[in-house]
Amino acid sequence: ERSLQDLYTWGVPHVNGGLGRITEGLMTKGDGTYVEYADGKRMMDFTCGIGVTNLGHAHPRVSGAAAEQCMKLVHSQCSIALHEPYLRLIEALLPIMPHSSLDSFFFWNSGSEAVEMAIKMARLFTKKQNIICMGGGYHGRTYGAMAVTKSKTIYSEGTGPLMPGVFSIPYPYWHQCGLPQSTPTSEISSFCLERLSLLLSQQTSPSDTAAIIIEPVLGEGGYVPAPTEFLQGLRNVCDEHNILLIIDEVQSGMGRTGDYWAVKESGVKPDILLTAKGLGNGFPISGIITRKELSDRLKKGSMGGTYAGNAVSCAAATEVLKVFQDDRVLDNVKAREKELFGALNALKQDAEVGKFIWDVRGKGLMVGLEFLSGNGAPKSMAKRVAEKCIEKGMLILTTSVFEVIRFIPPCNVSKADLEKGCRIFEEAVREVVK
């Protein structure tokens, strides 16, 4: 058998070249906020595997529930027979839905698959075709999801033609709107809603428009929460024209923002709610949640997938929800949110480096820090700061095309680890501007 080092050297050239990576080496272990590599290097993880391990790596209760289910039933194929974990997961999710109308559940494996199904269902439910998405939004890399992804060209470059019938308006983020950063959120919201109104009168008639898809907190596109008045405005337009509102909480959901759902605060009712990532804490599972009254109209056999609603993933996800409740994890998110904003805003006020920090924003533990671009700021500052953090032992990510660092520590991160992460980040920023 090859040694780990030999395996790595031999195996990497056989890995598909399209897969990018921010670190070298094999990750061999994860516990809580930390991961280890084959060479013994231990790193703090402020990426959570891109917003997935919200309860930390290898959470004993989640892994335990999965192991127990593994010994009972791994796979039934839900078109052959349902299993207990599927219904237990519905039992756990139903009481925490952002709106009581959401009472019909389909489980799949990934966020992209959830987006595909939402598009398909929206077309079937409304008997209309077109989809409106947001400039800057990210929804995945399968064909339908790529078509509604507008955060970076690399995701779909050279792969067209994509799914037709897709239109976009800017996400309410000043870069997307070409507005000054100082623009009040109410003005940004009105600007984007005006663009929607124009789109519906100039490019895609409401009678051809099936759905609007939006992330309530823009994820890959820059970590920007959508203003409440914008989400409410979208809801009104949808109600007026029989358009469905698809709320993609693949990244923002499952406790990340201090509530189970980022959309909750706005009071806006999703017609279709999407969840994935944190739902399984690393076990592949996504949820497409809608109203029974709509999904009952689907023909039997029109939806399905070999691994849709896998028993082990459902058991893990049910345990994730129990841990959130038993350990009062949402309270932790709110407490740590204050400390994180405190630390980052203090850095923004700092005499030496503050002038390079343009904005600190977000909700809960989904926080974006944007560096100044140009105007004397170091070139590619976000990327360089992230690389420095990695050198110093902390995994952290940037976002799409703007100079944004995203903070996504585990939702149950300790006060001490959060402080440590903020210290590493501060050192990295100081070294990059030197």
Q: Is 248 in the site for ligand PMP (CB under 6 A)?
A: yes
| 138 binds ligand PMP, rule: CB under 6 A | yes
| Nearest-angstrom CA–CA distance, 272 and 289 | 6
CB neighbours of residue 372 within 10 Å: 15
In this complex, which beta carbon is closest to ligand PMP, that of residue 257 or of residue 428? 257
140 lies in the site for ligand PMP, by CB under 6 A: yes
**Pair 46, 396: CB distance under 8 Å:** yes
For ligand PMP (CB under 6 A), the number of binding residues is 15
C-alpha–C-alpha distance, residues 421 and 364, integer Å: 16
Q: Does the protein bind ligand PMP through residue 50 (CB under 6 A)? A: yes
Rule CB under 6 A: say whether 275 interacts with ligand PMP: no
DSSP 36: E
Instruction: Check residue 397 for interaction with ligand PMP (CB under 6 A).
Output: no
Coil/strand/helix, residue 283: strand
The region of 188-196, 247-255, 311-319, 385-393 touching ligand PMP under the rule CB under 6 A is 247-255
Residues between 97 and 136 that touch ligand PMP (CB under 6 A) = 110-112, 115
* Residue 406 in the binding site for ligand PMP (CB under 6 A): no
Does residue 281 bind ligand PMP (CB under 6 A)?
no
The yes or no reply on residue 340 touching ligand PMP (CB under 6 A) is no
- Contacts with ligand PMP in 186-215 (CB under 6 A)? 215
Task: Please say which residue, 144 or 421, places its beta carbon nearer to ligand PMP.
Answer: 144
Q: Does residue 287 touch ligand PMP according to CB under 6 A?
A: no
- Compute the distance between CA of residue 183 and CA of residue 181 in angstroms, rounded to an integer: 6
- Give me the DSSP letters along 357-404: EEEEEEETTEEEEEE--STTPPTTHHHHHHHHHHHTTEE-EE-SSSSE
Q: For ligand PMP, which is the closer residue by CB, 45 or 215?
A: 215
**How far is residue 405's CA from residue 425's CA, in Å, rounded to a whole number?**
10
- Cα angle, residue 243 at apex, residues 242 and 247 outer, rounded to 5°: 135
Q: Which tokens in the block code for residue 95?
A: 């009481």
Q: Which of 251, 295, 399, 400 binds ligand PMP (CB under 6 A)?
A: 251
User: Closer to ligand PMP at the Cβ: 276 or 365?
Assistant: 276
Contact 53, 281 (CB under 8 A): yes
Which position among 250, 294, 347, 389 is part of the footprint of ligand PMP (CB under 6 A)?
250
> Smaller CB distance to ligand PMP: residue 214 or 344?
214
Q: Which is nearer to ligand PMP, 138 or 230 (CB)?
A: 138
The single residue listed with the structure tokens 């921010």 is 22
Helical (H) or strand (E) element with 210:
strand 209-214
Task: Give the count of beta carbons closer than 10 Å to the beta carbon of residue 283.
Answer: 22
Binding site for ligand PMP (CB under 6 A): 50, 110-112, 115, 138-140, 215, 219-220, 248, 250-251, 276
